[in-house]
Amino acid sequence: MKITCSKEALQKGVNIVSKAVPQRTTMAILECILIDASKDQIVLMANDTELGIETIIDGEITERGVIALDAKIFSDIVRKLPDDEITISVEENFKTKITCGKIKFDLVGKSGEDFSYIPVIPRNQSLKLSVITLKDVIRQTIFSKADNENNKILTGELFEMKDDMLRVVALDGHRVAMRTINLREMVPEAKRVVIPGKTLSEVSKILPGDDEDVELFFTENHVIFEFEKTTVVSRLIEGEFLSIDQMNLDYTTKIKINRLDLISCVDRASLMANEGDKKPIILEVTDDTLELKISSFIGSMDEKIDIEKEGKDIIIAFNPRFILDALRVIDDEEVTLYMINPKAPCFIRDEESTYLYLILPINFN
C-alpha cells in the first residue's frame, strides 16, 4: 500500500476516528486505526465493537492496500509532523514507512484482515437534523445521564420520535433533562430507542461546525450517524427506558427570575459547598424575593434576588450543581421555576415546553 495526503486531511481524519478507539481492551487490534486504501478511497476506521467510526479523507492512492497502526503512536506522529504532504507506504511483514519532507518514521503495523470492520447495516428508517440542532439537543441533556453502569439503560438517552416531534430524555435518578423539537417531516412510524451517552458525547465532538445536516438511521439494534464524509455506527442499549409521561407537573409556587443572576448566585454559594460534605443550597421564596442560603464547615453565604412570584411561599433545598447544570444549558434570558412542596421535585421549563429540567430536592432539616 502507498498513499499520499496532506497533514491537515490526515490529522482531521485521525482525530475523528480516534473517538472510537477503546482506552482499555484485551484485543490489541482494537487499539489500532485501520487505513483502508483497497478501493478508490482512503478510509480511516476505528471500532471498539460498541462504537465504530469511519471517515474518508482526500489523498492519492499509488498502491492499494490495508494496514492497521497503533492508534496512539500513529496519532502522536501525525500531530507532530509539519504541515506538508505525508506519504504512508507498507512493505512486507506490515513494515510501514511514514515520510514527511526529510522526516521518516518506521513502524510495524498489523494485518488489516484481523481488524473488526464496522458492520454493514441497512439504511431504513431515518431522521434528518441540522448539525446545530443535534449538538444543542445533546448539550442540553447529556449532563443528566447516569454514569453508574449498574443501571445501564440510564447511561443512555431516550430518542422518542412520533409524528413530527422528537423528544430526547436523560435521567439519573436525581434529575431529568428533556428537550422536544419539531421535525421537518413526519416520521413514518413512532419509534423509541436508547442511544449510549458515550456515543452521543463523541458524535457531538466530531460534528462539523457549520449548519449542514446529519442523518440518523435506526435499526433494531443499531443507530447510524452520517455527516460529511463520516459514518458513526453504535449499538443501542437494550431495555425499557423509564416512562416520564406520568410526571406530575402541578405546582403551588411559580417564580420567574433572571437566569444569569441565578447562575451567579448559586455559583457563589457553591464556594461554601465541599463536594464530600454535600451541603445543599436552601431557597426561600417570599413575595418578590428569592433568598439563597448555604452553611457548611467552610463558612456560610446568604444572598437575595428579585423575582416575580405566583402562589405560596416555600423553603426548599437542592444540590447546587444540579441547578447549575440545568441553568447553564438554557439559552433564555429568564427562567421559570415551578415547585409544590419541600419534598416534591422542582422543574424548570419554558412556556412551549421545548425544554424541561426536573430536580429532586434534598432534605435540609
* Superfamily (CATH H level) for 125-235: DNA Polymerase III, subunit A, domain 2 (3.10.150.10)
Residue whose C-alpha is closest to residue 135's, from 72, 188, 66, 213? 213
Cite the residue boundaries of each domain of the chain with CATH code 3.10.150.10: 2-114, 125-235, 253-359
Q: Please give the CATH architecture assigned to the domain spanning 2-114.
A: Roll (3.10)
Distance of CA 47 to the CA centre of its chain: 18
Look at residue 113 and tell me whether its pLDDT is greater than 90.
no
Q: What is the pLDDT of residues 63-95, one digit of tens each?
A: 999 999 999 999 999 999 999 999 999 999 999
pLDDT bin (cut points 50, 70, 90) of residue 265 is very high
Residues 6+ apart with CB under 8 A from 311: 251, 252, 253, 254
* Superfamily (CATH H level) for 253-359: DNA Polymerase III, subunit A, domain 2 (3.10.150.10)
Q: What is the pLDDT of residues 197-225, one digit of tens each?
A: 999 999 999 999 877 899 999 998 999 99
